[in-house]
Structure 1
Amino acid sequence: MLRLSALGDVCNLVPTVRALQRQWPQARITWIIGKAEHSLLSGLSGVEFVVYDKASGLAGMREIWRRLADTRFDALLHMQQALRASALSLGLKANVRVGFDKARAKDWQHWFTHRQLAPHSRAHVLESFMDFARLLGVDDTTLEWNLPVPDSAHGEARRLAGDAPYALISPCANPRLRNFRNWSAEGYATLIEHLWNQHGLKTLLSGGGSIQEREMGERIRALAAPEAVIDAIGASSLKGLLALIARARVVIAPDSGPVHMANALGTPTVGLYATTNPDRAAPYCWREHVVNRYPDAVRAYLHKGLDEVPWGQRVRHPDAMTLIRADDVIERIDAVLALPPRDRVIPEPRQ
């Protein structure tokens, strides 16, 4: 399997791995994966990881080719629509190379594969990955994750959050150029006040250590009651974040890794979507609880209807997320907190 990034996407791919393992329990599965993504999924049962650090460039590819020089795979599942991944695939030996169909392939990926998936229009990302298992003859596509979260990560989570119940807000998506997925500090502060006053829940702020994320955290804290906020931005490892998410009563975030991590762990999830289509990229098991302003953003900023834009079209406008109203998010939060608890897929730490 070749899928390097990103955090949310690799979480959506894990059910495909589990489906392959159920079909062929003795199969050897090798996953070529990105460095950060490996730190999130390391320890995934039955999988041998080969890590590629994109900062290593061609030298890193050559190292992987040397490592796998004596390995010939029965099938290479090329699940990354990027030229970097396609270039890496050229140095791997495989009897067959499977990739996306032309409608879903990007960056000329179909030139690097022998066989393409059957067309699947308007597919969610998770379903697109599962199509690889279907092509290989897998019938049981039951969703299963069982992400590994070590005891050390639970200890990290307890040190940051304590033992009292809390909500988790991850306010920022990846700080890439023209990403425009972030909501407002004022909106998040309103949610924090509601969670504290109406549900007695503190809110833990999570995120990486980028300047953008730290500044967003500072703005939110300036607007919210200090006793209602636990600031963990830049303070946790990725495994620690998994543990924090697993223990949260609810996770609220824009289209980013944490909503898909929460989905994989069975944690109630409220995704905030305006610049990306939730029908394609929402937290899969919590799609009905997404705040969806994507159709409004398409009309307002692309001046088109949903049926007039390509599947996966993003609305790259800095004001798109302002279409989300705090009342809409609060309604979804109240709804998921009222649901009976679901069985979690990760065990409690050993005492």
Structure 2
Amino acid sequence: MSDIVVYVRSQPQLGDQIVAFATLYQLKAWWPERRLKVVARDDVGHIYRGLPWVDEFLRARSLLDYARSLTGRTQVSVNLHHSSERFGLINLLRPPAIRMGFRNARISDLVWTHCHRKDESEYIGLANLRLLATYRPLDAEHVARRCFAELARPHRHNPRGSDVVFLPGGGSGPFKRWSLAHYLRLADSLKTLLGADTRYTFVLGRQEARERAELDALRRGDIDVAYCRPLSELSALMLRARLVVANDCGPSHVAQAVGVPYVGVFNQPNPEWFWRRRGAVEVVPREPRAGINAIRPEQVLHACTRALSRTRPMPA
């Protein structure tokens, strides 16, 4: 039995789930005594069960599973799906007192007690928090940073850290991967901006085993590799960074949430996955069909300079 039920998006990718973390954090901050359950279609329970503000995870394999996820005890339902009528129907079967969802010119718009208009030009993580803000005002940037600071708490005394964190992954395929050679050229150029003693960490996952081998072979003392590290450790690493440069990949959403200077390298404009905040700059190919590796390191260096110059002091 759960007092708060959150329906997360039906997408198996890590990034699609990370953008819901701050929403879950804020719900638990508002109602710490209530049990919070996450419901998903996909097998993503391993992502949510380790979060300190999630009490239960349910994988819903059928409409009946979804219908049973709401009980007489449920007081709050938060629906992070953007377009499915299914969740409006589910909330009508046993309506909680508070029903939050996205408004998108569908019949289900009438179900919600609190709603936020779906806008495909709005970063998804921000849209989720703006949905919560229709119930009670909040500062989305501060909530996101506090969320990942809490997640990083087990590593707060770990001295590991670097000036610059690079995220060269892209689980969807090579079209999202700015090359390792470009990142290394950028690293050398950043020393003129940040100092000769600048240190770098490359965050890599299993799909970047080749990149790991190439970096290990370089034996550069200014480069560290964080390979297959948990999100709690990556959160701590990025909170300590002076700058993060990332492809469009799952851990990039941690970097965007912690609020440090951030440069996103995209194969094309993708506003739903880029948080347009102070200190964040996106880089895309100058020619739409040129591909991500048509972006030159000099362009990204310029974006890094802009990101660093626009950043405001971060709260503790």
Q: Is the 8 A contact 1:97 1:113 kept in 2?
A: no
* 8 Å Cα contact 1:65-1:91 kept in structure 2: no
Match of 2:189 in 1: 194
Shift of 1:326: 0.6
In the TM superposition, 1:158-177 aligns within 5 A as 158=159, 162=160, 165-173=162-170, 175-176=171-172
Cα pair distance change 1:17/1:284, threshold 3 Å? farther
Percent of residue pairs bearing the same amino acid type: 17
Aligned-partner Cα distance in 1 for 2:249–2:183: 16
Shift of 1:183: 0.7
Q: How does 1:90-109 map onto structure 2 within 5 Å?
A: 93-95=94-96, 98-102=100-104
Q: From 58, 61, 85, give the equivalent of 2:61.
A: 58
119 and 258 in structure 1: CA distance in 2 versus 1, 3 angstrom threshold: same
The question of 1:292 aligning with 2:295 is answered: no
- The CA deviation string for residues 93-149 of structure 1, in whole angstroms up to 9 with x for no partner, is 43375433336x8xxxx769834945454333234223422444x344553231213
Q: Partners in 1 of 2:152 and 2:280 — Cα distance?
A: 29
Q: Distance in 2 between matches of 1:207 and 1:113?
A: 44
Query: Structure 2: which amino acid aligns with 1:189?
Result: L
Counterpart secondary structure, 1:216: helix
Q: Unaligned regions of 5+ residues in structure 2, if any? A: 1-5
Aligned to 1:184: 179
Would you say the 8 A contact 2:77–2:99 is kept in 1? Answer: yes
Does 1:255 pair with 2:248? yes
The alignment covers a number of residue pairs equal to 296
C-alpha displacement at 1:81, in angstroms? 4.7
Once the two structures are superposed, what CA deviation does each residue of 1:155-185 show, in whole Å capped at 9, x if it has no partner?
Answer: 6x54xxx46x431111102x23x57211112
Aligned 8 A contact 1:291 1:324 in 2: no
Question: Structure 1: 5+ residue runs without aligned partners?
Answer: 302-318, 346-351
Counterpart in the other structure of 1:217:
212
Q: Residue 283 of structure 1 aligns with which residue? A: 275
CA distance in 2, matches of 1:10, 1:282: 15
Q: What is the CA deviation profile of residues 37-83 of structure 1, one whole-angstrom value per residue up to 9, with x for unaligned ones?
A: 3266x124xxx432246xxx739x95x987x5755423422213587
| CA distance in 2 between partners of 1:343 and 1:101 (Å) | 32
Describe the SS at the equivalent of 2:221.
helix
Other-structure match for 1:2 = 7
User: For the residues of structure 1 that align with 2:27 and 2:91, how far apart are their CA atoms?
Assistant: 24
Code of the aligned partner of 1:282: F
Shift of 1:255: 1.9
Aligned-partner residue type, residue 179 of structure 2: S
Q: How many angstroms does 1:275 deviate by?
A: 3.0
Q: Structure 1 residue 264 and structure 2 residue 269: aligned?
A: no
Describe the superposition over 1:308-333 as per-residue Cα deviations: whole angstroms up to 9, x where unpaired. xxxxxxxxxxx521232211111222
Query: Judging changes above 3 Å, is the alpha-carbon distance between structure 1 residues 81 and 71 closer, same or farther for their aligned structure 2 residues?
Result: same
Query: What is residue 123 of structure 2 aligned with on the other side?
Result: 124
Q: d(CA) in 2 for partners of 1:289 and 1:150?
A: 21
- Find the aligned partners of 2:280 and 2:268 in 1 and give their Cα distance: 17
Tell me if structure 1 keeps the 8 A contact 2:244–2:255.
yes
d(CA) in 2 for partners of 1:272, 1:244: 20
C-alpha distance in 1, partners of 2:137/2:14?
Answer: 26
Q: Determine the structure 2 residue equivalent to 1:74.
A: 75
**C-alpha deviation, 1:20, in angstroms:** 5.6
One-letter amino acid matched to 1:209: R
User: How does the TM-score come out when normalised to structure 2?
Assistant: 0.72
Q: Post-superposition shift, 1:340?
A: 6.8
